[in-house]
Amino acid sequence: MPEGAPLLAMDEPPAFTVVHAGGTGSAVVVCDHASNRVPRSLAELGLNQAQLATHIAWDPGAAEVARRLAQHLDAPLVASGYSRLVIDCNRPLNSAESVAEASASMVVPGNQAVSGADRLIRATTLFHPYHRAITEVLDQRLAAGRPSALLSVHSFTPVLNGCSRPWQAGFAYGRDPRLALLFIDALAADREIIVGHNQPYSVDDSTDYTLPVHGERRGLAHVLIEIRQDQLRTAEECAGWAARLAAAYRRSEPSVVS
């Protein structure tokens, strides 16, 4: 990218999308890794389309589940517009994974020796607008006297670094377990589903941004939802998981939203 040039061209999509901002349900759905799009100015970060289609660039299936879940719950949805390889919207800006030089052992050529100025441009153009959008949705609901619980939808690989991950879905939290535990209990009733408790990930200030900032700091009930990617290969599978999650949320809602 030439020095001083904007990251996004005028005809490129925005940093985020907000769908159904006026939803009257009690949930707000977010999707940090919704897209594998890379700004044209970054020349696909030196990767090919096949590489950008893999989990290193986004969370396959997560955006479709998030969209359908928001529909079920009459909830606003805020989704990121660009690949986490450009800048990860769920990593603190001081994290080494904010602009990852490699992911799952794959070197990202366009992220080698990124200058501080270029990191700032990526953050200003993509990271901060996405999080301002979440803040605005939550602020508007607060001003309207509407309660909010924050559902952050992700997906994970069946195998990572040679280790199989048996959970079909996992629910994670940091300091506040309320909503995650209710989801775990609700899905554990289905004996055919292996549910992860803070698996395959937990929530931590050093590795996560969205839930610590928008959930914990506001005192909102919140949960990191992780679904294994081989469960989300078709639109029908995504729809099934969205319906399952919506049912689990409705069962949990009276306990965490007032």
Q: Which of 69-73, 248-252, 253-257 shows the lowest per-residue confidence on average (mean pLDDT)?
A: 253-257
pTM of this prediction? 0.96
Which has the minimum average pLDDT: 15-19, 32-36, 191-195? 191-195
Confidence of residue 220 (pLDDT cuts 50, 70, 90): very high
**Cβ contact 89:154 at 8 Å:** no
Question: Which helix (H) or strand (E) covers residue 102, if one does?
Answer: strand 102-103
pLDDT digits (tens, 9 = 90+) for 97-119: 999 999 988 999 999 999 999 99
Residue 5 reports pLDDT greater than 80 = no
When pLDDT is averaged across residues 64-85 and rounded to a whole number, the result is 98
Q: Which domains does the chain have, with CATH numbers?
A: 16-253 (3.40.630.40)
Per-residue pLDDT at 253: 84
**pLDDT at 192 (0 to 100):** 87
Sign of CA dihedral 239, 216, 122, 95: negative
Q: Is the pLDDT of residue 189 over 90?
A: no
- Name the 3-class secondary structure at 21: coil
pLDDT-above-90 percentage for the chain = 91
Per-residue model confidence (pLDDT) at position 258: 58
pLDDT at 2 over 80: no
Q: What would the two tokens of residue 91 be?
A: 């990593």
Residue 234: how many CB atoms within 10 A of its CB? 11
As to burial, measured by CB atoms within 10 angstroms (0-12 exposed, 13-18 middle, 19+ buried), residue 119 is: middle
| Residues 224-248: tens digit of each pLDDT | 999 999 999 999 999 999 999 999 9
> What is the pLDDT of the chain when averaged over all its residues?
95
CB 8 within 8 A of CB 122: no
SS3 labels along 182-239: HHHHHHHCCCCCCEEECCCCCCCCCCCCHHHHHHHCCCCCEEEEEEEHHHCCCHHHHH
